[in-house]
Structure 1
Amino acid sequence: MNRIPLRILRRTLTTAQPAATATSILDRALTKVPTHGWTTAAVSAAAIDLGLSPASSGLASQPVALVTHFLAQALSNTLIDADDQLHELPTPHERLRLLCRIRLRQTLPIKDRWPEALALLAQPQNLSTAMGHLTELASELCYAADVQAANLDWYAKRSALAAAYVASELYLCEDRSPDHQLTWRFLDSRLDEIESARALCNGASNYASQFSRNIYNIFASRGFK
């Protein structure tokens, strides 16, 4: 029987344990967001709940890690939740609409706190991380919806979807309509625009600017400047 050298086993355990601890803290911290927001207080409270020192994982000084953890978890949950429904929808457009709705619903429990998360992501040192997550979101949703596009059309459509999603999420934060019906109508209108040649032509060039502009607008309305 092949045996793992003890020195390798020890190194594996010591590197895996902090990662597992950090994930546990972040999972717990998400339950603290409605009360504490996306703050070090949420992370510290989660660590204490788990019987850990708030400084043990190094997360207490990185509240943006809580936001990125939520983004990764929300995307994963979206793909899982949509998996058994996608085959029932005949077109990529309908599948994208389902995926976007499911992803937006992931934000509902913390939507009143979401502008605070966006404020963190919009900080200069975090903006590349925000763009990376948004690009991943658009790519994964397009792939799951089986969007067929070649070369530049693929990047344009993905960029247009990212812009449509961001606009819809920001709209959701302000929506007080029953069951957020206005948000779903807004989303449908943005997705319909993606089908047009104009959206495909303008999507890539407007991607970053629309992201920044929309975030600034909602920050201004909420007092984040």
Structure 2
Amino acid sequence: MSDSLKAQLIDAALPHVAFDGWSVATFDAAVEDAGVDPVVARAICPRGAVDLAVGFHLAGDKAMVAGLAGEDLDALRFRDRVARAVRLRLELCPDKEAVRRGTTLYALPHYAPTGSKLIWGTADAIWTALGDSSEDINWYSKRATLSAVYAATVLYWLGDESDGQAETWAFLDRRIDNVMQFEKAKGSFQKSPLGKLLESPLAGLSKIRRPNTTTGFPGRWS
């Protein structure tokens, strides 16, 4: 019940976000437009419009995962699967201005941790949907790298006025190419004399394991 009411509030809030952002005014208007009891609305969203903004982002992640499940990605290279996931995440966004207002919200110091958590969650949703099976420190590095790519792509997308967002998709491809080049260089370094020399001092990193649950950040030691 609470999820459906929150979805109603988010839908009711979107027409107001373009004018008032994810603000108290937007939340109050959404409560009135949705016909939800204000006490119930506050119980569902203790932080008001901030919780609606979070719900809006999480709904986007859910739509992306569902969309990926319906696509045949087997014929694509893995880097292209990642690119497709990020692109789909943005293509399915129902309201670009709501995302723009969200970036403004999460730029505030007291909401920056919330924004960072959401970006990490999107990266995790993508890797999980693509079948990532890493159990060690690579679980973290993959998500950290993709978080940076996703955040940069969103900012570019918000200012992109090209036909069909073509410039954004080209930007995304370049960023993923950069990541692939880094991974290649990392592999070469590990095989180099210096890399082998540092292998023992860095051996402790091999003990890092992925979290047991999605709330187990940042991880555990084996």
TM-score for the superposition, normalised by structure 2: 0.71
Asked if 1:171 corresponds to 2:180, the answer is no
Matched with 1:6 is none
How many residue pairs get aligned? The number is: 184
Distance 1:183 1:20 in 2: 33
Aligned partner (choices 71, 79, 93) of residue 93 of structure 1 = 79
Matched with 2:54 is 68
Aligned partner (choices 105, 120, 124) of residue 91 of structure 2 = 105
Change (3 A) 1:190 1:81: same
Asked if 1:159 corresponds to 2:144, the answer is yes
Measured after TM superposition, the shift of residue 19 of structure 1 is: 5.6
Asked if 1:49 corresponds to 2:44, the answer is no
Give per-residue Cα distances to partners, 1:155-197, cap 9 Å, x unaligned: 2222111101100000011111111110000001111112123
Change (3 A) 1:51 1:155: closer
Measured after TM superposition, the shift of residue 100 of structure 1 is: 0.4
Distance 2:49 2:30 in 1: 12
Matched with 1:208 is none
Asked if 1:39 corresponds to 2:23, the answer is yes
Give per-residue Cα distances to partners, 1:38-84, cap 9 Å, x unaligned: 22232222222232344541248622112101110000001111211
Distance 1:65 1:24 in 2: 13
Matched with 1:142 is 127
Distance 2:54 2:86 in 1: 18
Partner SS, residue 76 of structure 2? coil
Bigger helix share: 1
Contact 2:9 2:52 (C-alpha < 8 Å) held by counterparts: no
TM-score for the superposition, normalised by structure 1: 0.70
Partner SS, residue 167 of structure 2? helix
The sequence identity of aligned pairs, in percent, is 25
Change (3 A) 1:66 1:18: closer
Matched to 2:99, the amino acid is W
Partner SS, residue 35 of structure 2? coil
Measured after TM superposition, the shift of residue 35 of structure 1 is: 4.5
Unaligned runs of 5+ in 2: 187-222
Measured after TM superposition, the shift of residue 146 of structure 1 is: 2.8
Query: More displaced, 162-171 or 92-101?
Result: 92-101
RMSD between aligned residues: 2.6
Distance 1:113 1:18 in 2: 22
Change (3 A) 1:72 1:18: closer
Change (3 A) 1:200 1:169: farther
Measured after TM superposition, the shift of residue 125 of structure 1 is: 2.2
Report 1:122-141 matches (<5 A): 122-141=107-126
Asked if 1:121 corresponds to 2:128, the answer is no
Change (3 A) 1:181 1:174: same
Contact 1:43 1:63 (C-alpha < 8 Å) held by counterparts: yes
Matched with 2:172 is 187
